[in-house]
Amino acid sequence: MTLLKRALGIPAPVIILTFSAARTTCRIPNGPDFPSSIVMKLLRAGVGLAAVASLALLPSMTWACACGCGVFDVGGGTLIAMPSGSETGWSAWFRYSYMNQNQNWEGTSRAPASDNTDKDVNTNFFTLGGQYVINRDWSVMAELPIYYRRLTTTDDGTVNGPAGSIYTADITAMGDLQLTAIYTGLLSDMSLGLTFGLWLPTGDYTGPTGSLGGYEFDRDTVPGTGATSLTIGGYYVGGITTDNRLAYFLQARYVFAVFTRNDYRPGGELDGAVGLTYTFDTGANTSITPLLQAKVSYRTHDTGSNADQLNSGYTRLLVGPGVEARLWKVRLYADVEFPIYQYVNAASSVAVEGTAGQLVASVLVNAVAAYDF
């Protein structure tokens, strides 16, 4: 019997379901994976849907990233990044995400690039994470994002040159440290879980200054928020076929700032995901699991004198395929996501404050490498 079995008192495959929504196999030796009663299946699905839906009623990720990087924190690429049969309870992962925002958008349609003083926000996200399973009901997790961002924007005459000139600035810096507790004791098979988190203002929330002394990045484009934030979330995973090869998952998370500084409060963000997975076993402790998922993001306006209140906040829906490959203690995951609906808040005209719209990306890329110790 492994250390994980002794620590949690349950078969190790159950942990595969609990902490890997991209896999969701949950094979229970010598027994069914779920109660055979259709009523019980519907009840469990209802409980999961209610838990996720209840989060949407609250007033994901803020990060001073009005660009919407919080969407990377839900879906298949997040629940893979948790222990899945680890003998020690420890797991670590590295996540790479990419987003190039080069299209100006106002409301539900593309808008002239000349309306927006920002021209391009090109970002590589590198996230280091680790988790420890304390017991059957609780585990803890920490994540630290690192940004490499290149911003092309319009000078106001205080940064690098005359007003109206275009400059490009680069920054490589930490984002806000994320600490999360995960509770999986709601159901006996641990298929329904809740998450509670604290984000600390470790990220750079000012950025570099230009040759004329002004800041090259605005508050909504630097890696850090300067804020302490709280998160609440939940997930539910379940089988569709009797062998659970075909399965589904639901996940949601809401992030909101509680302590802020320098007259900038990032908007609260709700991110959710729903997906289907199918697992192909390719040998002992090896498998390939393709998935198809849809994600929704809703972000409120940023507020404060250092925020662009009119040109912040959005609603969007993304869809995309992904795949997970598992080989013993190593898990690899990748997906691409495409927006099929976007509504972004924008000033009614350029005359209001000299800029209108927000930059959006046509595709988002995400990849994870995880190892169970």
Measured between its terminal Cα atoms, the distance across the chain in Å is 16
pLDDT, position 76: 73
Residue type, 225: T
CATH code where residue 272 lies: 2.40.128.130
- pLDDT tens, position by position, 123-133: 999 999 999 99
- pLDDT tens, position by position, 313-350: 999 999 999 999 999 899 999 999 999 999 999 999 99
3-state class (DSSP) for residue 277: strand
Q: What is the DSSP string of 195-212?
A: EEEEEE--S-SS--B-TT
**Number of domains observed in the structure of the chain:** 1
Confidence category of residue 158, pLDDT binned at 50, 70, 90: very high
pLDDT, position 59: 31
pLDDT, position 74: 75
- pLDDT tens, position by position, 198-232: 999 999 999 999 999 999 999 999 999 999 999 99
Between the CA atoms of 70, 71, 72 and 74, what dihedral angle is there, to the nearest 10 degrees? 110
- pLDDT tens, position by position, 234-264: 999 999 999 989 999 999 999 999 999 999 9
Quote the domain boundaries for residue 261. Answer: 3-372
Q: What is the mean pLDDT of the chain?
A: 83
- pLDDT tens, position by position, 267-317: 999 999 999 999 998 888 899 999 999 999 999 999 999 999 999 999 999
Residue with tokens 């017991």, as numbered in its chain: 135
